[in-house]
Structure 1
């Protein structure tokens, strides 16, 4: 089986593991942090070791291309995080108020 058969290439910036909503970036984040495939499986018990190894092998065979992909994803996440800080959702504002009210109640 070709490695590409383990993945869904939804777009240039969205590669998922077939049968899951998990992106290869999730598995590769932990792999690059030094986690073993077995430890990654502990974090994602629905993923088979076969799929985890396929993801790692695909990365190692296409490292420069996948590193560029991971960089784009990290940049996208950071951009959206910064935007969320500038323009918090109504739910986030409500939670902030509740947190502040609880903090004030403890001071009394």
Structure 2
């Protein structure tokens, strides 16, 4: 079995662990925060140690490319977050309005 067989390369910016919706970035983030493989499995219990070690090995063998991948992913997530702040969905608009309404009701009850 090749190391790449553990992953689904959906597109250049979406690499997932085969059979899961979990991206390799999730495992790598824990690793970079100092988690051991055993601690990572506690956080991501649907994985097994073999898949965690495969992900870490893949990362260590392709560190430059995966670090660039992780940076692109972080930038994309930040961009999406900023867009959602600037253009909230109708649901978020309703939730924010409800929050303001409840805060006003709380202030008025004092």
TM-score, normalised via structure 1 length: 0.96
- Name structure 1 gaps, 5 residues minimum: none
Larger Rg: 2
Q: What count of residue pairs does the alignment treat as equivalent?
A: 108
- Name structure 2 gaps, 5 residues minimum: none
Alpha-carbon distance, 1:28 to partner: 0.7
Written as runs of structure 1 = structure 2, the 5 A alignment for 1:30-69 is: 30-69=30-69
The structure showing larger relative contact order (alpha-carbon pairs under 8 Å, at least 6 residues apart) is 1
Q: Over the residues paired in the alignment, what is the CA RMSD in angstroms?
A: 0.8
Alpha-carbon distance, 1:78 to partner: 0.7
Deviations 1:5-38 (A, max 9, x none): 1000111111000000111011111111111111
